[in-house]
Chains A and B, each alone.
Chain A
């Protein structure tokens, strides 16, 4: 089913703590993406990576960090600097970075920070 896994499904953290969300794909895709999904706001791009060891900021990168040390993995760290971290986070991948490529999505991680 999709070949993209995100763990955990639900995550709870105290304010002030950093937390890392996992995203793994076995589709041999070059590109990977992190989105944040909030009710009424659609999907907003946090970071994306077109190739290993390279990544670019999306529209709402402040308070987040990523790494891409392996092709199949693209973890997202939500830092304490992110002012409103409670949200649903979606990871996606695509075979390449051309305009016509479909993105394949993971099941998502719901993060709650209190």
Chain B
């Protein structure tokens, strides 16, 4: 069965520190994975997707099929990165399975 696990409900770092938000998944096929972000008082929106292999706002995520992980990383966190982050897995039907989310707080 498809499942996405985000083990950290809350994560706090200081500005300028590296940050890593963990995501593990279970899926029988070849997965497509996404990170969505919800800033305060804004809509949930796509941050990045595995297939694009791009860096958005300094964030990157690498799919590790051996460890079934898709961790989100940024070398130097900024205060504006404070938000709720959701990892999501897409099925062949196009529906998304979301993790429970990680609330990131970046302190000045």
Task: Please list the residues of chain A having a beta carbon within 8 angstroms of any beta carbon in chain B.
Answer: 1-2, 31, 33, 35, 40-45, 48, 50, 58, 90, 92, 94, 96-108
Contacts and interface: CB of A to CB of B under 8 A. Distances in A.
Contacts of B94: 31, 50, 94, 96-99, 101
A40 B51 contact: no
A108 B84 CA distance: 15
Interface of B: 6, 9, 32, 34, 43-46, 49, 51, 86, 90-101
Contact of B99 (A42, A58, A101, A103): A42
A31 B90 CA distance: 14
Contacts of A108: 43
State the 10 A-B residue pairs at the shortest beta-carbon distance, nearest first. A97-B94, A42-B100, A99-B32, A43-B98, A105-B44, A99-B90, A42-B98, A102-B46, A105-B43, A42-B101
A48 B95 contact: yes
29 contacts: A2-B43, A33-B95, A33-B96, A35-B98, A40-B9, A40-B100, A41-B100, A42-B98, A42-B99, A42-B100, A42-B101, A43-B86, A44-B98, A45-B95, A48-B95, A58-B95, A90-B44, A92-B44, A94-B94, A96-B94, A97-B93, A97-B94, A99-B32, A100-B90, A103-B46, A104-B45, A105-B43, A105-B44, A106-B43
